Amino acid sequence: MFETIQTNIICITILLVVFMNFKKQSRALRNRHRYFFLMLWLNVIILTIQILRSMTEGYQTGLFRDLFTILNIFYFIVFSLIIAIWCLYVNDYIHEHRKHFKIIMAVLLPFVLTNTFLALISPNMGILFSVDEQGYYQRGSEYTTIFALSYIIMFLSILYIVGHRMLIPENDARALLLFTVPPMFAAIIQVIYPEISILWPSMTISVLIVYVSIQSQLTSTDPLTGVYNRREFERYIKLLPSKTARKVVSAVMIDINDFKQINDELSHQMGDLALREIGDILKRSIRKNDFVARIGGDEFCIIIESDHDQVLFDIVKRIDENIRSYNRMKDDEFPITLSMGYGIYDDKYHQTFDNFFEKLDRKMYLDKQDFKQGKSEFA
């Protein structure tokens, strides 16, 4: 018992340290991983329940026996919530919006409600668990069924990640898949050997796997927009000379028109919102392996490696279409417009990538001048 309590206390401490480190990050990043936060706290709660269960088990009568029964009810309720929140986190991580939310909830809500109902009636009917005369926990008649359903849902989340892996970076997909390994492996061991309590410590390992993945993003990602930052941009362009022999390298320099006016007339909060919206639009407009970074206050750059020239023009067209669609949908007094300079790298003409990006920056500046004169071709 004492070993279990000690292990769970260590796990809770680790999770609290993760939470405190996360709390220091920007609000945008915390909101991006809100389901991760919720899953972290549910894991802390269930580890606490495990500690209290160990301390109150074995009492034949009295308050501790009643408390032990209540703790077992909450254990099964929180258990189902953790699985549900994990699935919502996967969907939110991949799509960054509520796509498939209703479909996923149609599966998860009946599971959580059924599990909650069965947990509440189990003290009298022994469905998920029972407490014997000596005050010890016993598995109920439908424990295996709930375990199997939980396992199926976790397996479906794996299939969902694999099926949508092209929408997120490879390292992110790997981290999400690795998250499922420790608890699924530990769950099988715990079913076979009930005296071994490793399920929730293994979940702590899974939380750490995702946390390490998120931390690695912080060094290369702009916290406001979610695209790469200037540091990663400079690192990336150093690698480009070695790629021109195999791929067509092209790029788009982008600047938000009248961004200072948005900040001054509408507020800096609206300016931040505009940057986030542009970041989302650019990510939706490019392919999975294309590179997009925020390289200045309101400046972005997309770098494209492809097999033919047309990819660049298709992406520029999608950006323009997505901006127009965004402005129609928002119907704001102050629509967002962009100036862009784009082109394809030619080793003989440009000679260096520094020269290439300088020319694109000049093209973007000329497009901005055309915008001020009402001649720009872009939204």
3-state secondary structure string across the chain:
CHHHHHHHHHHHHHHHHHHHHHHCCCHHHHHHCHHHHHHHHHHHHHHHHHHHHHHHCCCCCCHHHHHHHHHHHHHHHHHHHHHHHHHHHHHHHHHCCCCCHHHHHHHHHHHHHHHHHHHHHHHHHCCCEEECCCCCEEECCCHHHHHHHHHHHHHHHHHHHHHCHHHCCHHHHHHHHHHHHHHHHHHHHHHHCCCCCCHHHHHHHHHHHHHHHHHHHHCCECCCCCCECHHHHHHHHHHHHHCCCCCEEEEEEEEECCHHHHHHHHCHHHHHHHHHHHHHHHHHHCCCCCEEEECCCCEEEEEEEECCCHHHHHHHHHHHHHHHHHHHHHCCCCCCCEEEEEEECCHHHHCCHHHHHHHHHHHHHHHHHHHHCCCCCCC
Q: In this predicted model, what pLDDT tens digit does every residue of 262-298 receive, in sequence order? A: 777 777 788 888 898 899 999 989 987 889 999 988 9
Higher pLDDT, residue 152 or 377? 152
Per-residue pLDDT, averaged over 93-106, amounts to 78
Band (333; pLDDT cuts 50, 70, 90): low
Least confidently predicted of 35-39, 205-209, 210-214: 210-214
Share of residues in the chain with pLDDT > 90 (%): 44
Band (376; pLDDT cuts 50, 70, 90): low
Examine the pLDDT at 175 and tell me if it is beyond 90: no
Least confidently predicted of 167-171, 322-326, 364-368: 167-171
b/e sequence 215-247, b meaning 16+ C-beta within 10 Å: eebeeebbebbbbbbeebbeeebeebeeeeeee
Give the sign of the dihedral formed by CA 142, CA 146, CA 147, CA 149: positive
Per-residue pLDDT, averaged over 104-108, amounts to 89
Band (136; pLDDT cuts 50, 70, 90): very high
What does the chain come to in residues? 379
Examine the pLDDT at 135 and tell me if it is beyond 60: yes
Per-residue pLDDT, averaged over 108-116, amounts to 94
Say how many C-beta atoms besides its own lie within 10 A of residue 257's C-beta: 19
**CATH number, domain 230-372, options 3.30.70.270, 3.40.50.880, 3.40.50.2300, 3.40.50.300:** 3.30.70.270
Domain boundaries, the chain: 2-218, 230-372
